[in-house]
Amino acid sequence: QKEVEQDPGPLSVPEGAIVSLNCTYSNSAFQYFMWYRQYSRKGPELLMYTYSSGNKEDGRFTAQVDKSSKYISLFIRDSQPSDSATYLCAMSGTTGRRALTFGSGTRLQVQP
Amino acid sequence: EPEVTQTPSHQVTQMGQEVILRCVPISNHLYFYWYRQILGQKVEFLVSFYNNEISEKSEIFDDQFSVERPDGSNFTLKIRSTKLEDSAMYFCASSASSPGQGRPKLFFGSGTQLSVL
């Protein structure tokens, strides 16, 4: 089983749609959960960060973590063409391996 | 907004040659990282560096790789004898705190695309 699994997409939605992106993971030591956005030929850019379980909202973005199910989600409301990018989930722990472990990324295309 | 700067943006080299990838992290950051992304694959951790020493490294980071902070601003990744499979986008990142403590916000550079022929 891969440590972090993410549906690669591509995911194509019309402008204004609600987008749901998800990752599952197997390592119960992960405590920090992040979502990065990556535009073509650019480095990942941090969008959202959550510690342990719960929800976090920032503008049109909501991150959810369910540690009991080892499942994290990113919701994008009122999606815009500028949201078109690859979205990467990333996780890290507080003991042992503390470096970020990334998912493979989901490519999102928001059609105008 | 401060940013991590990487040079060069593209590097082409022959197999067996040494390459040095350069990075200027954000000035008040203390933790430095190298990640790489082979085309079509996930971003993979290589090494983290704090207080002038390696704090963590992955199984990818073998004896062919080394990192250095030669002065107060630069952070370099050296690959001693490049292999075809080293072809990838290499990202430098920096953070004010460790991913394992506090707010693990990593700032990534735009990457160096390394092509080994």
DSSP A83: G
Q: Which residues contact A29 (CB under 8 A, 6 or more apart)?
A: A93, A94, A95, A96, A97
pLDDT(A2) > 80: no
Shortest Cα distance, chain A CAs vs residue B111, angstroms? 6
Give the gyration radius of chain B's Cα atoms: 13
| CA A10/CA A107 separation, integer angstroms | 5
Closest alpha carbon within chain A to B47 = A99
Look at A98 and B103 and tell me if their CB atoms are within 8 Å: no
Look at A92 and B56 and tell me if their CB atoms are within 8 Å: no
Look at B111 and A41 and tell me if their CB atoms are within 8 Å: yes
Q: Does B109 touch chain A (CB under 8 A)?
A: yes
In degrees and rounded to multiples of 5, residue B45 shows phi and psi of -75, 135
Look at A98 and B108 and tell me if their CB atoms are within 8 Å: no
pLDDT(A57) > 90: yes
Look at B104 and A92 and tell me if their CB atoms are within 8 Å: yes
Q: Phi-psi bin for B28: left (phi > 0), alpha (psi -120 to 50), beta?
A: alpha
Q: Does A2 touch chain B (CB under 8 A)?
A: no
Q: Tell me the pLDDT tens digit for each residue of B71-107.
A: 878 999 999 999 999 999 999 999 887 655 655 678 9
* pLDDT, mean of residues B48-71: 92
Best of A34, A39, A102 to disrupt the B interface (most B CBs within 10 Å) is A102
Residue with tokens 């990333």: A90
Can you give the pLDDT at residue B98? 64
pLDDT(A99) > 60: yes
